[in-house]
Chains A and B, each alone.
Chain A
């Protein structure tokens, strides 16, 4: 099949759209997590590490207790704990947020690698869990051609994502808490003068980023293939950061950007299975999502704007 044919065949197949959604899911969670943190003025480039801890913890608990729901909760909790370290040093001690987050990425990687042997007896990858989190069957929609093939039997995480996208948009733009978050991220001094507790709001933002990025990690391990592989999440945390920026620090924007990156990943998967290429050429197609990220971040970022106090420590005088 030629390249052009393969691309058109991909675009015409419902599987492509389904894969786009599924590939976008972890990005949506982590990117919105990033939005929460950065809206309150704390950058959190540790999303990759948080996803890793979340993914690993969820599999540990899902296997040991044979309960995927416990895995889900513990995975998110692990994300919150890691984010709490970032929050503590960023908010209380004015630490360099980029450096602190880099440290957490290393700690997550080291901790997961370290625990693989005592917990699972070997490195590389864990066993498959016995029970994954459920998928959702849609009674009428499943019989509609094309649409049914896309949406029927999607992971329950798809519905989590829809709720989180709209709930966080509402929270950030329509509630007093959201107003405070934005005020703290734009001008902490002014917010402080008006009696907003800057520290508290920032803790909320960073801990939410841990919760959501942790959930993103849980999805890639427990929601998708049902096992943990050591090089997970293989750059998705950073692509989520790009999605957050491209989405202009807005949950709905982050959703669209995640879908775009999801489409790049789905295109990669589909082209690999359709094109008759030598295997080393197929491996080269793995570049696609990363190249697209660079082009987009490089080309569009001038049009977006970060919260003004993003990355700036705030100290009461």
Chain B
């Protein structure tokens, strides 16, 4: 699958995990491209890209690496984690971005960022420990696996990791600096999601620009092949806590 397909099939039941129209509180309809740039489609610009970039981007879109690092049980937990760290319930099935295989591939291939913190194990061990901890927390609080929990309960556990106040598994998490793990987890999700042309379309990023370049630098003006912003109101789904303001580090 190289190019997205329009997915017009109606969802069987209306999922409240989608963002809401604030005036009606009805979930916004599924979109091939969420965000404020309807019609922007980076892949359609491929003729203007150089060959090396075109190959790279199309390989990224067209093939999903197999899961080789995580065990099936670990992958089930991680899939649920990733679905909450960067939720895609507002995307059509065909345009969801496969985040977990990208993280798995990084860990399997040992693609590290060039360093390891003194107070952290290897990236691979950090993930394995964290998955155990997340499972232990879910079992202790709810008596079931993380991936079986409803959205809000999953988010509460993740928020407790974000806040560095886990409600169980303290002994496991002592093995490392939880703040650094959280940061690596969210970064890894972002590194896969925002590398994908569907995400570029969502945020209005022009994508590869060689050899053509940009001609309109000022005033936030769109290039002739970009589209203007069309804003609409957007509310997070009702059953989420991940849209609330977080304390900042200023």
Are these two chains actual partners, yes or no? Answer: no
